[in-house]
Chain A
């Protein structure tokens, strides 16, 4: 018995050795051992971690950023609270329904600003200075690498304010019975909204590869968020209707907030059910379009003199 066990142990250790010796890199084998696909999650988490480490190095800056973006949203909220003292409805949204709309805006904006905005902004700069060279060398999807390099953690402050606002407003909406579907679909549609905005943004930033410089991103972001932060019903009449149609079907920014907000605050209005279906189409369409633009642009990248 004892002898058998020893033999077994020997066998085990031989296996172990074989396993270990196989892992000792000899330059020829190295390629085989390395997995062919980069770990996208691992890379993203490292980006997120490195950004946090960096943000913490400049602690004061981080705190000021967080406070200023939260105060801006709270002032916004205060403004609407004032408006609702004079009127009971904006379009057909009452106060708490509109607060849900605002929290949806805050969710989408904070996510876009935390994950994509700084990167889209930097892409333009990297094109001008030739810094994009390094992104193109890496064995990983370039759009992924460029889009998620930095995480602006301070922008996530508003995400939590939005959570509180949502939790406060939803129970106060008259006649609203929260269903499981709402709870499941709402975050999904918020994410879809984020993806639509991201797509528009990255496509726009990618045009700087052709234009040499495109620093209108922040302005553009300001216009878009200004436009999409109201219920779509307010765009009516000779000018309003075509505007609404363009920004629903051509550049789907009205879908971004309106669909998830309506889903949560006014789930019974069946005439907007098609919007929910369209939201999905718009998201897939936007992401594919942005990818196409991005890849086309990369082909014409000229780099900058060193």
Chain B
């Protein structure tokens, strides 16, 4: 069963075009030029119940817009979406008690008060029975190891601790669908890892549906089997994380360790030379050439070690993003 169904969902904004200078500002009091900006071009997507899906894309690709549409914060310019059978932007209470949205860059807890006061407020708003509330809160606090921080004003918490509190606040009512917008942004490696560990455990335990946006490949690799990539408001990829490399990277990285420290002179005939630190060399070789190059290298040189690897995922995705940005320039130019 699908928890999320998106059909031809789109969103465009009318943006006021501001020109430079004081005179232009004065003019703009009387006459303004507007421009339609498509934040999300017609998007189709299905997410099954219990899936953990990563949503990737460069800044401004439309990830956050999609999450905001699915949580009913904003209304679309066209198309349809159903989450758990509800149309999000109708903002029905029945829907709103079944999902949660966590945004890494915004916080919803009372800044000057300890987080537990905000939790109590959530209890009242969602009307969670007291015993259930206490149990869920303690469970989450144990998992996130933050029982001792409950009484401390939110403004005195570190970024990582605050994120844990935000997560707890969002999960108190046991949502069935969770939208996470860059939950690990700005966190150090340990805090990131803790949040990942928690999310993984929680999702597996509860079998909830999660849609995550992140710029950290580690988040994605640790948590999601399925990855959806959008760029310029359009879907460019939907599949497994490994599939991205198969599909978007046409080359592999060949690492060679020459025996007896004997480096041959010309390596560029095998492929693009990435790095040479004697007696090691790294070459970039087209995927279709790899078998031929390997046998040639082995025939011509004595090697101590050899390995063939996929290029790092970050690199592939960065390449893909910059490619789509170039296309955009071409398209608009």
Contacts and interface: CB of A to CB of B under 8 A. Distances in A.
Nearest to A33: B129
B121 A137 contact: no
Given A50-B113, A53-B117, A34 B103 contact: no
B308 interface: no
B248 interface: no
Interface string B90-119: 010110111011011110101011000110
B126 interface: yes
B174 A53 contact: no
A296 B309 CA distance: 56
Interface string A270-297: 0000000000000000000000000000
B75 interface: yes
Given A137-B73, A138-B125, A36 B117 contact: no
Interface string A30-67: 11011111110011001100100110011000000000
Nearest to B128: A34
A7 interface: no
Contacts of A142: 91
B13 interface: yes
Interface stretch (B64-72, B253-261, B298-306): B64-72
A266 B252 CA distance: 92
Interface string B5-39: 00000000100000000000000000000000000
Interface in A248-306: 299, 301-303, 305-306
B110 A34 contact: no
B201 interface: no
Given A50-B113, A54-B112, A139-B93, A301 B124 contact: no
Nearest to A300: B75
B131 interface: yes
Residue with the highest number of chain B CB atoms closer than 10 Å, among A23, A30, A35, A131: A30
Nearest to B63: A306
A136 B73 CA distance: 6
8 contacts: A33-B132, A37-B127, A38-B127, A57-B113, A134-B106, A139-B96, A139-B126, A301-B74
